[in-house]
Structure 1
């Protein structure tokens, strides 16, 4: 009996932590419906987005393309051969683990100069302010992060959605956490 409660409690802790972590990360499909291809304005695509550490970029593309992370200088000059990382699987997922500018190009000859290049400025994310309350580096005027996938609620911004829901109609991260906790506590106590 005691071991069953310990296992349930361990599962509860894991689920709460997983819900918290996944609630604040965003998944961006690069180029959205156009994907990673020639003829897409990637600087325009990033213009209304705020990227933070923990977010993920998903590159979808056909054969004949690559996703190479490169230095600032290689990005500016479309120099290939010095990549930090490279992939040609057709579905590349890049976790944004560090703050700063991350540069991506297609290393196929002529593709970078043809516009297949993406620079993403990644903010550090959430930090603690001197009072101990969380302070975020995302703009306060955005109620949701424009992504394909997870929608992130920004506190202090009102919408016409029912309480606890984001502008896209999905549960806010805090409501998802509360809902998960209630369900898990009910399960543990049963």
Structure 2
């Protein structure tokens, strides 16, 4: 009985530790990045954004990533962003359910199509409130010239997914032995 309880506890702990690794990292605009001429409405089509996922914006120094209110998004109002970043590579963790709005803060760029709206699902069941606090922009460490390898696909599962399934196989093997 003691061995069975230890196995159950181990299964619960591994599952709890591995579930956050199932988050998806979305590279905004895919290979087009965060730039003029990319259709972000088409890019979001068919994608489901969940709490825990992240958006990665890759862009040239002539652009910014501004998180804005719904009104500023619809009117392309610049200068009153909730948060802003101009590092060239911005990762935004989607921490709260509801709509999130992003524009380029350079005059004319939002009107030229550099605007993105995503609706994040998840969180407390039944919470579809649009008044949830926005997520914060997390700029990369280092300087704007620091390069890093980022996922090139629009939705890449965390590399820990393979580890999760391997650990689950080991746990199930324990139950069968």
State the alpha-carbon separation in 1 of the partners of residues 20 and 54 from structure 2. 13
State the alpha-carbon separation in 1 of the partners of residues 38 and 154 from structure 2. 17
Give the 3-state SS of the residue equivalent to 1:177 in structure 2: helix
Give the 3-state SS of the residue equivalent to 2:91 in structure 1: strand
State the alpha-carbon separation in 1 of the partners of residues 37 and 154 from structure 2. 21
Could you list the runs of 5+ residues in structure 1 that have no partner in the other structure? 1-9, 129-145, 152-169
Give the 3-state SS of the residue equivalent to 1:179 in structure 2: helix
Q: Which residue does the alignment assign to 1:19? A: 18
Q: Which residue does the alignment assign to 1:33? A: 31
Give the 3-state SS of the residue equivalent to 2:41 in structure 1: helix
Q: 2:166 aligns with which of 179, 183, 187?
A: 179
**TM-score, normalization by structure 1:** 0.63
State the alpha-carbon separation in 2 of the partners of residues 148 and 43 from structure 1. 16
Q: Which runs of 4+ in 1 moved over 6 A?
A: none
**TM-score, normalization by structure 2:** 0.67
Q: Which residue does the alignment assign to 1:3? A: none
Matches for 1:33-112 after TM superposition, within 5 Å: 33-112=31-110
Shift of 1:34: 0.2
- Contact conserved, 1:26 with 1:147, CA < 8 A, in 2? no
Shift of 1:181: 4.8
- Contact conserved, 2:29 with 2:154, CA < 8 A, in 1? no
Shift of 1:147: 3.8
Q: How many residues align?
A: 138
Q: Residue 110 and residue 89 in structure 1: after superposition, are their counterparts in 2 closer, same or farther (change >3 A)? A: same
- Contact conserved, 1:71 with 1:84, CA < 8 A, in 2? yes
State the alpha-carbon separation in 2 of the partners of residues 62 and 52 from structure 1. 27
- Contact conserved, 1:68 with 1:106, CA < 8 A, in 2? yes
Could you list the runs of 5+ residues in structure 2 that have no partner in the other structure? 1-9, 127-152
Shift of 1:179: 1.2
